[in-house]
């Protein structure tokens, strides 16, 4: 019996108390989403990807764009060019895609949702 009590005492003094164990901080995330549109201007077409960042200060927006020569067709079929450029840029900044909302018949209605760890 004395041996069991001594063993329990030794274990209790060697193991840290539950409250002393440091807790791992919870990971916090930043979020944004990207969608595209096209705007025609004479013989040039402007393809635009809009990026909306959700922050504590509200929504902040920026754009990426490329100019292309019009070919008589709708510019919507070329939206993947500007979207690819924008998603590559965000990937280089540490953003990772978590979801896509799309309509199969339209490039314009695609929305890409991304997140990255907060600093």
HEC per residue, the chain: CHHHHHHHHHHHHHCCCHHHCCCCCCCCEEEEEEEEEEEEECCEEEEEEEEEEEECCEEEEEEEEEEEECCCCCHHHHHHHHHHHHHHHHHHCCCEEEEEEEECCEEEEEEEEEEEECC
Q: pLDDT tens across 27-84, in order?
A: 999 999 998 877 666 567 788 899 999 999 999 999 998 887 777 666 767 778 888 8
Domain boundaries, the chain: 28-117
């Amino acid at each position: 019996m004395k041996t069991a009590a001594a063993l329990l005492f030794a274990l209790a003094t060697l193991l840290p108390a539950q409250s002393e164990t440091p807790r791992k901080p919870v990971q916090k995330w930043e979020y944004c989403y990207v969608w595209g549109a096209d705007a025609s201007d004479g013989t040039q077409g402007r393809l635009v990807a809009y990026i909306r960042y959700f922050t504590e200060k509200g929504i902040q927006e920026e754009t990426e764009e490329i100019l292309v020569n019009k070919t008589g067709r709708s510019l919507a079929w070329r939206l993947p060019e500007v979207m690819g450029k924008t998603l590559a840029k965000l990937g280089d900044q540490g953003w990772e895609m978590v979801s896509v909302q799309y309509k199969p018949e339209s490039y314009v209605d695609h929305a890409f949702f991304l997140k990255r760890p907060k600093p």
